[in-house]
Copies of this chain bind each other. A is one copy, B any other.
Amino acid sequence: MNNFIYAADLFGTVVFAISGALAAGRLRMDPFGVLVLAGVTAVGGGTVRDAILGATPVFWITNTIYVWLIALTAALVILLVRCPRRLSGRWFQVADAFGLAVFTVIGAQKALSFGTSPLIAIMMGTMTGVMGGMIRDVLCREVPLVLRTEIYATACIAGGVLYVSALALGLAPVFAAVLGMLGTLVLRLVGIFTGLSLPAFALDKPEKH
């Protein structure tokens, strides 16, 4: 089972790296830019989480497979992708939802293993899931998409709540993890396939700041 989570983690890393590499391509970056955007999208969230927890050196320094995977993904995207639309389609969004679910539970798990409260674990799970994409968007000079769109971070929060609740109720860690992932995944798929989103909090811009 832990092997399954590890494999899912690597799969999520590749999917997130592809999403970063495509963003770089849209801004006509050079190969280094593609590598950087692939990297921050894939491991940015976990890196900030580890720095905040004090889990240093951060995870990809001790296990360099993440770095190799990102470099390989960036190279393949540059060489093979000509028509990004296929990769922005539904199937890619479903893969991204799967990555999001895994990252969320892994992030919450790591926080708990550092002795944090369940509240902080939910936050850290969400941060692991969404912060890489936020950094990618800031580097691309965009307001992070996750701050204004459909059910995305909400799915992480809900999955995190499910996960820590299941643990608190005494479920085996493996079942709690699967439950948390399913919660995030299902809710995110609802967002993707229905286009549902949370109502925006909209204020008028003041005339003078």
Contacts and interface: CB of A to CB of B under 8 A. Distances in A.
Interface of A: 21-22, 24-34, 36-37, 47, 51-54, 56-58, 61, 64, 67-68, 77-78, 81, 84-85, 88, 114, 116-117, 119-120, 123, 134, 138-149, 152-154, 157, 197-206, 209
A46 to B, nearest CB: 11
Count this chain's copies in the assembly.
3
Contact of A56 (B53, B88, B123, B146): B53
Contacts of A64: 117, 119-120
A130 to B, nearest CB: 8
A61 B120 contact: yes
A30 B152 CA distance: 11
A117 B57 CA distance: 12
Contacts of A116: 57, 61
